[in-house]
Structure 1
């Protein structure tokens, strides 16, 4: 095992441990955000972005890392965000939380992964015919590219970073809960991004969704195309990273004696019933459209919202807005108590 693979596995292991610590990976946590009953994920994302904005832009300014901005391909970011948010609500997982929850024994996460692999394969096949709806491409826009790498930029970065941190505490106060694991996890995610961005570590952001088309395309031999060439390097890195996250969850859950094979989680049963077939079909569909949306937007929760938000990328903030619109609208209509 070479050093690069080992480092990536360790980073993934840490990522999985952070998510598992605050239960940010779990179906009940994410699906509860879709119906505004649990804000842990939103708070952790907000504080991670806030701390990350301050840390990573200083790191890049010192020449210890570089920007990895995703381009603002408007149609893909908007439509992909809506589809991704809808898939996230139905599935109850993100591309990066799926392997973590699988490591804990969640069988619906496995079904979601299978759906995501099919989604990645179909996206590769359909991409040439849907290319027109993804544009226009406004390039790699960020606060840094707009106003330049100057004193004003760093002042604004600090203000925006503090604003995100304040938002997380504002939501926490409104939610009126005492658990602060979301805070520690959010800060840890920002530090992990800082390490991953470093030119002496990985010189890239954390990401997850590219794994799915990469693995599915490679498995069926769909590699002789421009899209596979584009995703080959990040896809292979993310595959190792997510395997590390899976191992982390598996080992920790076994040590803590929390490993359970579970298909129907309590939140699903409360709103959708106890039918195994129903959960399997919806988990597959949710995973399928989750990855379709992620690939249209060129990123997901970790690779776009978190990593991009920390870099003050315009595309990532727009994506985040439409993800939450898709998440909340789908949550409102999809999750209705079975006794209503």
Structure 2
């Protein structure tokens, strides 16, 4: 990653990012993950469709990174920043009904409220950059555990760590699909199971 910053990102990497980003955005749009009501139902534990999609996406993306030997920046494990950042992100996610990825899809759909989310994210990032030196000394550096991955924490190889990671996310999505359904009713795969009414 530092090499990319120093020399510039190769065009092939940028092109691959553009293509996969468009494809991922299309899937987000098709499954309705950019809709506020879908996000709200997920957070209220009433509809797990978006959650299953996110878990499968993490599993598939992890396999893709492994097979293509892609360069990934591993951020240090700074647990205080993770806790506070997760809380802020969760509140924003619930209020806006989208994350940095889905909000871009919403903007592409013409939803004007997505623009406020994008502007808020940019302003928040700029504010964080300005206060980072102070935050780093008080809340980040003292709680920095260094770079940590699943396979390094478990003391196994990268491949074994990947298998465990994929099994957790893909298996979790499968269990959620089997155990939980929207509104507590059996999913019918889009087929209307209600008896036909007399006309």
TM-score by length of 1: 0.46
Residues in 1 aligned to 2:168 and 2:126: alpha-carbon distance in whole angstroms: 39
Alpha-carbon RMSD: 2.6
Residues in 1 aligned to 2:62 and 2:16: alpha-carbon distance in whole angstroms: 24
Partner of residue 82, structure 2: 77
Equivalent positions of 1:172-211 (< 5 A) are: 172-173=177-178, 174-175=180-181, 176-179=186-189
Partner of residue 36, structure 1: 45
**Is 2:150 aligned against 1:143?**
yes
Partner of residue 15, structure 1: 24
Partner of residue 187, structure 1: none
Equivalent positions of 1:272-283 (< 5 A) are: none
Residues in 2 aligned to 1:157 and 1:118: alpha-carbon distance in whole angstroms: 35
CA contact (8 A) 1:52 1:161 kept: no
Deviations 1:198-255 (CA, angstroms, capped at 9, x unpaired) = xxxxxxxxxxxxxxxxxxxxxxxxxxxxxxxxxxxxxxxxxxxxxxxxxxxxxxxxxx
Q: How much has 1:85 moved relative to structure 2?
A: 0.7
Residues in 1 aligned to 2:82 and 2:58: alpha-carbon distance in whole angstroms: 19
Equivalent positions of 1:279-290 (< 5 A) are: none
Residues in 2 aligned to 1:34 and 1:96: alpha-carbon distance in whole angstroms: 17
Q: Secondary structure at the match of 2:53?
A: helix
Q: 1:47 aligns with which of 38, 41, 56?
A: 56
Residues in 1 aligned to 2:73 and 2:162: alpha-carbon distance in whole angstroms: 17
Q: Secondary structure at the match of 1:24?
A: coil
CA contact (8 A) 2:151 2:160 kept: no
Q: How much has 1:53 moved relative to structure 2?
A: 4.0
Higher relative contact order (CA 8 A, sep 6+): 1
Q: 2:140 aligns with which of 123, 134, 150?
A: 134
Partner of residue 91, structure 2: 86
Equivalent positions of 1:1-340 (< 5 A) are: 3-4=11-12, 5-57=14-66, 59=67, 64-131=69-136, 132-135=138-141, 136-147=143-154, 150=157, 154-173=159-178, 174-175=180-181, 176-179=186-189
Residues in 1 aligned to 2:110 and 2:51: alpha-carbon distance in whole angstroms: 24
TM-score by length of 2: 0.74
Greater displacement, 171-180 / 30-39: 171-180
For structure 1, the 5+ residue unaligned runs are 181-340
Q: How much has 1:50 moved relative to structure 2?
A: 3.0
How many corresponding residue pairs? Answer: 173
Q: How much has 1:49 moved relative to structure 2?
A: 2.5
**Using a 3 Å threshold, how does the CA distance of structure 1 residues 12 and 145 change in structure 2: closer, same or farther?**
same
Q: How much has 1:156 moved relative to structure 2?
A: 5.0
Q: How much has 1:51 moved relative to structure 2?
A: 3.5
CA contact (8 A) 1:101 1:109 kept: yes
CA contact (8 A) 2:52 2:176 kept: yes
Residues in 2 aligned to 1:178 and 1:113: alpha-carbon distance in whole angstroms: 36
Residues in 2 aligned to 1:80 and 1:121: alpha-carbon distance in whole angstroms: 15
Residues in 1 aligned to 2:140 and 2:26: alpha-carbon distance in whole angstroms: 35
